[in-house]
Structures are given as structure tokens and as C-alpha cells.
Chains A and B, each alone.
Chain A
Amino acid sequence: MSRRIGQLIKAAIRVVLQVNRDNATDLLEFEVRELENIFSLLVLGGFAGLPSPPSPIAIEILPFMEKELLVLIARTDLAQDPIGVLSGMMDIG
């Protein structure tokens, strides 16, 4: 019984620690995703009329950018409500 209680306490502590870790890195993760999005926009922006490196350079990097492309598409979906995303992350409202 006492062993079971010990395991439960350990699990609870793990959850609390993980929640704290998630809270601590939430903003940093958001920043990383934004930077990845900016990186993708810089590399591929030429295809949408934004200033960008010569397209042959973009073509050379493109084969290694699948993840960044998916981030770009995901960020485009959220682009309608950036304040909502931020306030949701900061528990506002």
C-alpha cells in the first residue's frame, strides 16, 4: 500500500515538474516556431513575391526543409488570429 502511495507521489511530482517545464519553455518554443517560420519565408518568399535569395539557392535548400514547410503552412493557418494564439499561451482571458 505504502509502495503504491509512493509511486503515485512520484508520478504526481513528475507531472508537476513536466507542467512547469512546459510552462517555462512555452514562450521559447513559440519563438523557435516563429524563427522557423521566418526562415521558411525568407527562403521561399520569392515564390510569393517577398524579397528572397535567388530562387536557385532556395531550390538547393528546399530538399531539406520539409519540417519548415509544414511549420510555414501551420503558421499560415494561425495567421488570422496571432493575438489569440499568444493570449492563449499566456492564459489571458
Chain B
Amino acid sequence: MNNTAFFLGKGGVGKTTLSGAFALSLAREGRKVLVASLDPAHNLGDILKTKLSGQPVTIEPNLDALEVDLAYWVNKYLDESRAQMKANYAYNTAFNLDSFFNIMKYSPGTEEYAVLWAIEDIHCRLGPLYDIVVFDTPPTALSLRFLSLPVISGLWVRELRQLREKILSKRQTVARINPESPIAASCVDKDDDKVYGQLKNISQRLSGLEYLFSKESFISVIVNPDQLSVDEALRIQEELSRLEIPISAICINKKGISDMVWGQHPSLDSYPQFDFDFTRDGISSREDLMAVGAEDLAAHFLTRTGKK
């Protein structure tokens, strides 16, 4: 299944406009499309002229949209862990749990994880209901962090699993030699060890997301005809190449915004290029969004993903 598109780029280059125009073009070609905004500062609803929520809202036939509520995902994830801890721990061990979890809301990395689990939910739960899912992403820094999380966290989880396997193997040896030992009473088998099971579960989820990003996604990087957005696109290219996530297209948005002579950077020149003119009158309706002209990009996506 290769039905997911991401639009990345510097803040203000037109990620929301192009993801909206791209989704609308595909929907009007008869594909069932969901466009989801991952940006905490949502404006997908503004551009589609519809109030959006965390659940899909129908914009027009074949096009649904949603705005991921990061606070909801942070709370959901922390509430589930808190409930599990309360169920598994002795009362006195989990005494001040609420204060701990209230602070964890602000822990670095929590928001990026919330984005990841939201993408996983959309991909696994909602993805099968649509032909194509389009993600409008937050500006580069947050996007690159959540794209790299499956790889980085995957390394940690792999090491932790290996250490856990070593512990379980040594516990087994103790249990064989000395069944009366207190260690023999603890869990000795991988299938019964809940910590190992949880590590395996996290590892599988992270691998699934890594596969989604690197093998199943159509990644478009958006630039404007200015040096700053191109410099940022180069940093995105470098980071994605490190993560082995291929770029599928470069979109040059707001062409004609200035008379300055501008040429594409040679490093970005090898990808398929799509030009979008600067819309002087702004976007005030979905017809204006269609007028952006994402049909060629949509056709390239359909050809590339074998859906044409």
C-alpha cells in the first residue's frame, strides 16, 4: 500500500495550500482522499473553509479532512500509561503518580511522539477507508524530529531488548540450577515477560512507521524562489537521506512573487519539479484552491504510486 503523501518545507512556503490543492485535485479525479493537518498551528480548516476536528469531516464528495489534536494524543497516551501503572503497581509504589504524569506532559519529545501515534492511528485505522491520505506537516524542525523518531528510538529499543534477553537468559540459568532462588520465582521466559513484550510491541510499531516513511510515502518538499527556503530544503534533503527517506518531488511555490533572477539549486534539480504561481488575490474558496493547479503533481503521484 503506497497511498500516503507528506508535504514538508520551511514555515510559510505554502505546505497547507499545496496539500489542500493536491488533495482536492485527487478528490475531483474520483479518488477518496483524507487530508490531515499535523501542524499544532492548524490552518487547514481555514483554507478549506470548514471547521475541522480530530475526526474526519466531509469537505465535499470524496474529500474528508481532519486536524490532529496533539493535546488529545498527549493526554490519551499519558492516561493509558497512568491507568496501566495504577493497575500493575502496589498502591504505595504508585503513590504520587498523578503529579508525575502531569509534569510528563511537558517533557521534551512528548509532542513529537503524540504526532507519531496520531500518524499511526490515521494510517492504520482511517487509511483503509481512503484511497489516499495526505499529511500537511508542521514546519521543518518538528517534522524532521517525528520523521527521525522511529529510527532513533528503534535503536534504543533494540538495545534494551537485547539486554532484556540477556537478563531473562541468566534468570533461566539460575532457575535451572537453584529453583529455590527468589530470582527463579520471577519471569524467566520471553513470552511471559511483560517488559520484553512491551519492548517488542514498541519495536513493531516503530518499524511499521519507519517502513511507512521510507517505503510507502510520497514526500514532497516545498520551496519558494528564495534562498532561505532553498537552504532549509537542502537541510531537509540531507536529513531525509540520512534516514533513507526518498524525496519524490520538489514543489516551487509562489513563483513570480518577485522579479529576482532565481535558479533551482543543483542538489534539488534531480527530483521531479512542479511550479506553482503566486496567487495574488489569495485563497478565499475551494475553487481558488483548485486554481493553484496541483493536477500535474497529482498525476505524477498517481503514476509514481501505480494508481493511474
Chain A: residues with CB nearer than 8 A to chain B? 18, 21-22, 24-25, 28-29, 31-32, 35-36, 38-39, 42-43, 52-57, 59-70
- Give CA–CA (A62, B108) in the complex, Å: 17
The interface residues of chain A, by DSSP majority, are classed as helix
The DSSP consensus for interface residues of chain B is helix
Quick one: which of A21, A36, A65 contacts B167, CB cutoff 8 A? Answer: A36
The answer on a CB contact under 8 Å between B164 and A39 is: yes
A to B CB contacts below 8 Å, 9 in the list: A25-B181, A35-B163, A35-B166, A35-B170, A38-B163, A39-B160, A56-B77, A63-B198, A64-B88
Contact B177–A54 (Cβ < 8 Å): no
Q: Is the CB of A35 within 8 A of B167?
A: yes
Contact between A31 and B104, CB atoms less than 8 A apart = no
Q: Is A56 in contact with B157, judged by CB distance below 8 angstroms?
A: no
* Contact flags B238-256 to A (C-beta < 8 A → 1, else 0): 0000000000000000000
B113 in complex: contacting residue of A38, A54, A67, CB < 8 Å: A54
Give Cα distance in the complex from A64 to B107, angstroms.
21
Residue of B nearest to A33 (CB): B183
Which residue from chain A places its CB closest to the CB of B107 in the assembled complex?
A55
Residue contact A32 to B177, C-beta cutoff 8 Å: no
A interface footprint on B123-164 (CB within 8 Å = 1, 0 otherwise): 000000000000000000000000001001100110110011
Query: Which residue on chain A has the smallest CB distance to residue B173?
Result: A28
Determine the chain A residues whose CB is within 8 A of the CB of B171 once the complex forms. Answer: 32
B291 beta carbon closer than 8 Å to chain A: no
Interface band, chain B? 35 or more
**Interface 9-mer from B39-47, B61-69, B78-86:** B78-86
- A63–B181 touching, CB < 8 Å: no
Q: Does B237 contact A (CB under 8 A)?
A: no
In whole angstroms, how far apart are the Cα atoms of A29 and B182 in the complex?
9
Among residues of B, the one whose C-beta sits closest to the C-beta of A67 is: B186
Contact B104 A59 (CB under 8 A): yes
Q: CB distance A57 to B170 under 8 Å?
A: no
Interface contact B178-A60, CB-CB below 8 Å: no
> In the bound complex, what is the Cα–Cα distance between A24 and B173 (angstroms)?
11
B198 and A28 within 8 A (CB): no
Contact for A54 among B78, B153, B173, CB less than 8 A: B153
In whole angstroms, how far apart are the Cα atoms of A59 and B28 in the complex? 44
Specify the chain B residue showing the minimal Cβ separation from A53.
B156
B160 surroundings in chain A (CB, below 8 A): 39, 42-43, 53, 61
Q: Which residue of B lies closest to A59 (CB)?
A: B81
Chain B residues, Cβ within 8 Å of A53: 153, 156-157, 160
Question: Shortest beta-carbon distance, B194 to chain A, in Å?
Answer: 4
A59 to B174, CA, bound (A): 30
Docked pose: A21 CA to B202 CA in angstroms: 38
Provide the residues of chain A in CB contact with B110, threshold 8 Å: 55-56
Q: Do A22 and B181 touch across chains, with their CB atoms under 8 A apart? A: yes
For A22, give the chain B residue with the smallest CB separation.
B178
